[in-house]
Amino acid sequence: MKKKLATWKGTILSIMGRVQLVKSIIHGMLVYSFHVYFWPRRLLRLLDLWIKKFIWSGDVLSKKVCTVSWSVMCRRWSERGLDIKPTRLINEALILKLAWELITKDTQWSILFKKRYFSNGRPITHHFKSSVWSGIKAVVGTALENSLWIVGTGERIQFWTDNWLGEPLVDLLHIDTDFHGLLRGTVSEVIVNGGWNLHAALTGYGDIKNRMEAIVLPTAMLPDVLVWVHAPDGILTSKLALSFLRTSTTLLPWGDQIWGPAFPPSHSCIYWRFHHGKMPTDENLRKRGCIVVSVCSLCMVAGESSDHLFLACQFATQLWHWVGGKLNCVIDRSSVDTLLSCRPARCSSQVSDIYITAILHTLHTIWWARNSLRFTTVTPTLNSAKIRIHSHIAMSGNVSTGKCLPSDFSFLDSFAVSPYCRRVKEIILVLWKTPTAPWLKVNTDGSVINGLAACGGLFRDNLGTFRGAFYCNVGAQSVSYAEVHDIISAIEFAARNGWRNIWLESDSTSALFFFSNSTLVPILLRNRWHNARNLGIQTVSSHIFREGNCCADKLANLGHSISGELWLDKLPEEVKLDFYRDRCGLPNYRFP
């Protein structure tokens, strides 16, 4: 690998070009081996060191003085990083996926490994001489801790040692590990006639009874499924494994805005390095022990620092004033973080790209002018710098994928950018319509606020009369989970009230797809979905724009204020205005 990096002509590529080379080639060369073997940590650290040197200098043997730390480079784009995956993280994620496949699949290799290295469904702790098992053994505990059995028939689930209650029963009862191998039995042995049959002494311990009551047993013969609890479909992929092992930091608004198809990565990299204070200016070189005589090459007045060169230098100040005049704004040069604040709060996406690209190209041009004076015989002038910035803005604006409005034409024309108009949609009149007898229409909606989900629904008959409503708190789930939970709750409430013809209406088209493809249902709701579909309720579904679904939307918001589920026989005050607007046939409008 070291020879491969050394033979590439890294010096003819920019820093971002070498980053892309590492992501696409180096990581791809290692993936096959990483899928099977757990590499030594020392070797992976050495490999990361070579990659870092190659990115910054183009040579694995040369070390640059002024560089951003490796941990920052490995952060996501939105976290001020370059989204480089450390080799150690890639290796651990792929081995975690391998461990997951071992415990969930019944392929030839997994059956062989389970017979050799597992006992009673748990990995054997003593040492085995194996190049593959040694890596799996290190992460199989993580795979088991983040997996959950969805109870079907219960025939595949070990009653004592498998995790089907949120934690293994041996852990809830604090049973010593020496006795785990003596505990036998499956969950199917305690399921009788679709219900639980356990001794009161066991269910009365701790919260075991509550955990068991929260499990929905299927009315049909569904298989037991081991799922990854952090995946909507319960399947652990390499991407999910990497995301699970990767630590998150604070998200920044500009983190992923400066990287896009309209912005040359080498120009965005200047802003990124400037923000981290790692531009190789005289100030930073002195901090790292280099003895240099510092003077700004552009103004020859003050010593060179990053803030002076890019923000306060006379040459830079004239460029910023000129760019601000072109953008019809005043650019705040108090710090690097305030440069992008000149962008309007509300503007079209193509205009937004113009503002961002103007800032990036101006910073790059200042750095180009400085380097030209120091390392070449070219003497850049203020006029040549303006022409350079203008041409780069025109290039970026014309390759931008953003759209504009007719009012932006004159602004874009000043930068020689062709406008890409957004297709103007007509204003749509939205009406809630009553169902035909004997159908009852239930409007449903889900809501997520600060990562917490809730849902609600409203039943009305063919006269628009209120027949009942509900809302519930779903907890830390996604909006799609809340939408499906809402539909299931609506069917269950209809069955309790003896309503056999239900018209489900939602503003989520994706939620309605679950009727045609039940495999899309979140795996944690699998049993409830199958049970609800077997209640004998005849259902039809339709879509309505959210402007006509206001009652359900407000009920979903009320769900955040409670815990659990609440059925209402009386129309709540918060919904009355929208309810009577719907009943009177008053329209709402959907604006483009």
Q: DSSP strand E in 135-238: where?
A: 147-150, 191-192, 195-196, 225-228
CB contact at 8 A, 242 and 85: yes
Confidence at residue 426, expressed as pLDDT on a 0 to 100 scale: 82
Mean pLDDT of 48-60: 89
Q: Region 61-74: what's the mean pLDDT?
A: 89
Instruction: Report in angstroms the alpha-carbon separations of 290 from 35, 279, 309, 540.
Output: 44, 14, 19, 75
Burial environment of residue 116 by CB neighbours within 10 A (0 to 12, 13 to 18, 19 or more): exposed
Could you write out the DSSP letters of every residue in 242-255? HHHHS------TTT
Nearest to 477 by CA among 526, 442, 525, 544: 525
Per-residue tokens: 2: 């070291």
- Across-strand partners of 501? 538
How far, in Å, CA of 141 to CA of 303, rounded? 57
Measure Cα distances from 297 to 65, 369, 428 in Å. 21, 9, 60
**Cβ distance 447 to 486 under 8 Å?**
no
- CA 33 from centre of chain: 27
* Residue 205 per-residue DSSP state: S
pLDDT at 179: 82
Domains of the chain in sequence order: 2-91 (no CATH), 128-245 (no CATH), 265-413 (no CATH), 428-590 (3.30.420.10)
Average pLDDT over residues 512-528: 85
**CB half-sphere exposure, 227, CA atoms < 13 A:** 21
Burial (0-12, 13-18, 19+ Cβ within 10 Å), 379? exposed
- Residue 208's pLDDT is 87
* pLDDT tens, residue by residue, 200-256: 878 788 888 888 888 999 988 899 999 999 988 889 999 999 999 988 777 777 777
The position carrying tokens 């604070």 is 250
* Cβ neighbour number for residue 381 with a 10 Å cutoff: 10
Summarize pLDDT for 385-417 with one digit per residue, the tens. Answer: 999 999 999 999 999 989 988 889 999 999 999
Q: In angstroms, what CA-CA distances link 551 with 103, 124, 222, 438, 463?
A: 46, 56, 36, 22, 16
Quick one: residue 483, left, alpha or beta (phi over 0 = left, psi -120 to 50 = alpha)?
alpha
Model confidence at 441: pLDDT above 70: yes
Q: What is the pLDDT of residue 214?
A: 87
Tokens for 360?
């990036």
State CA 49 to chain mean position distance. Answer: 28
Confidence band for 120, pLDDT divided at 50, 70 and 90: confident
- What kind and span of H or E run contains 470? strand 466-475
pTM of the model: 0.84
In this predicted structure, what is the pLDDT of residue 7?
A: 66
Whether cis (ω within 30° of 0) applies to the bond prior to 280 is no
The Cα–Cα gap between 338 and 169 comes to 55
Tell me the pLDDT tens digit for each residue of 338-396: 998 888 888 899 999 999 999 999 999 999 999 999 998 888 999 999 999 999 999 99
Smallest Cα–Cα separation from 540: which of 513, 507, 501?
501
- The residue count for the chain: 592
Residues of the chain above pLDDT 70, percent: 99
Measured distance CA(251)–CA(448) in Å, rounded:
19
- The residues near 378 (Cβ < 8 Å, ≥ 6 apart) are 372
| Mean pLDDT of the 427-451 span | 91
Q: Supply φ then ψ for residue 306, to 5 degrees.
A: -65, -45
561-576 mean pLDDT:
92
Reported as a pLDDT band with limits 50, 70 and 90, residue 424 is low
Nearest to 136 by CA among 114, 151, 121, 152: 114
pLDDT of res. 45: 93
pLDDT band at 293 (very low <50, low <70, confident <90, very high): confident
- Asked if the model's pLDDT at residue 151 lies above 70, the reply is yes
Handedness of CA 575, 577, 581, 583 (dihedral sign): positive
- Written as six digits, the tokens of 560 are 């955040």
**pLDDT tens for each residue of 69-87:** 999 999 998 888 999 999 9
pLDDT of residue 437: 86
As a whole number of Å, the end-to-end CA separation of the chain is: 54
- Mean pLDDT, the chain, whole residue set: 90
